[in-house]
Structure 1
Amino acid sequence: MSNERSVVDLRVGRIARKDVVSVTSDTTVSEVAQTMTDENVGDVVVTDDDEIVGIVTDRDLSMRLLTDEYGTNVLSGESGVDLTAGDVMSEDPLTIESQARVPRLLHHMNQASVRRVPVVDDGKVVGIITFDDLVVHLAGESAHVAAQLESLADVVHAESPASN
């Protein structure tokens, strides 16, 4: 079995999405939501001067705009027109280097309770990895391992004294 497919040695950069959608902190929440809809993504990375300052997820939008916890509840009479990505973003998001291994990423995602992680090299965003991406990849990895085991089982069965 090829070591290249091993999830233990797999580098984050190999499975990260390269098409990162970003906005600036002064982008209105309406524009953020429209961008997420247009790009069919559940998050946008917030950058100012090419530096990551935050991330806005679909959950951030709903939780921060529809609850009183953050003082931005548009249901309580505020229009929300003046709110920006900077008002609703999660600041200082977890990031990971593209050369980091997947188990390290999983550990950090679990510790931070996040589902989306920008991938960086030299402080610049080079991709994004989501929990969904990981599930799809690991499912493929599992199918590959299962196929290899089935093939080996066929060999073992064929060479077993009980089958002769």
Structure 2
Amino acid sequence: MKTVAQMLRAKPNQDIYTIAPTATVLQALQLMAEKNIGALIVTEGDQVVGFVSERDYSRKMVLQGRSSVATPVSAIMASPVISVTSAQNTRDCLKLMGKGHLRHLPVIDDGKLVGLLSVSNLVKAVLADQDEMIQQLEQYIRGQ
């Protein structure tokens, strides 16, 4: 079973995109579009204070008729943020994601943001673990 640290190292793009809670929702959407991502971590200084996604926009802005030009990210962000540490594993992450209906998990070590995992990162890790286990079992059966 892979650790969060191993999954982060396996990501082709390890960039972490953040936005301030005082930024407008429009600015958040522009950054997400520019970076071709679906969510941002909301930070104040070095502290993670929230998480905002396209889902938050659709449910808390569009459906409520709010203006993305006038609304700050803090008005629609999810907070407090559910996160993991680098030492945790795929099972820990999947449990948290399933329980909280989450698609992303910030990775925070000693109070510092070090990465972000998505559900697709976890699916890839689980499939790689299963492929490795199958290969080992086949070798065992063949006596190799």
TM-score band by shorter chain is: 0.7 to 0.9
2:140 paired with 1:152: yes
**In structure 1, which of residues 81, 88, 95 is the aligned counterpart of residue 69 of structure 2?**
81
1:50-100 Cα distance to aligned partner (Å, 9 max, x none): 1011001111111112213xxxx24xxxx3311121111111110111112
Aligned to 2:5: 13
**In structure 1, which of residues 133, 151, 154 is the aligned counterpart of residue 121 of structure 2?**
133
CA-CA distance at 1:105 after TM superposition: 2.0
Q: Once the two structures are aligned, what percentage of the paired residues are identical?
A: 26
Aligned to 2:21: 25
Task: State the TM-score, normalized to the length of structure 2.
Answer: 0.87
Aligned to 1:47: 43
Maintained 8 Å contact 1:95/1:119? yes
Aligned to 1:59: 55
Find the residue that maps to 1:44 and give its secondary structure.
strand
1:107-159 Cα distance to aligned partner (Å, 9 max, x none): 22222221111000111100011111000111122222222223333349xxx
Find the residue that maps to 1:30 and give its secondary structure.
helix
Maintained 8 Å contact 1:56/1:89? yes
Maintained 8 Å contact 1:56/1:90? yes
Q: Distance in 2 between matches of 1:136 and 1:37?
A: 24
Find the residue that maps to 1:97 and give its secondary structure.
coil
Q: Distance in 2 between matches of 1:140 and 1:34?
A: 34
Find the residue that maps to 1:83 and give its secondary structure.
coil
Find the residue that maps to 2:21 and give its secondary structure.
coil
Which is greater in Rg? 1
Maintained 8 Å contact 1:13/1:127? no
RMSD, aligned CA: 1.8
Maintained 8 Å contact 1:47/1:53? yes
How many residues are treated as equivalent by the alignment? Answer: 140
Q: Distance in 2 between matches of 1:155 and 1:13?
A: 33
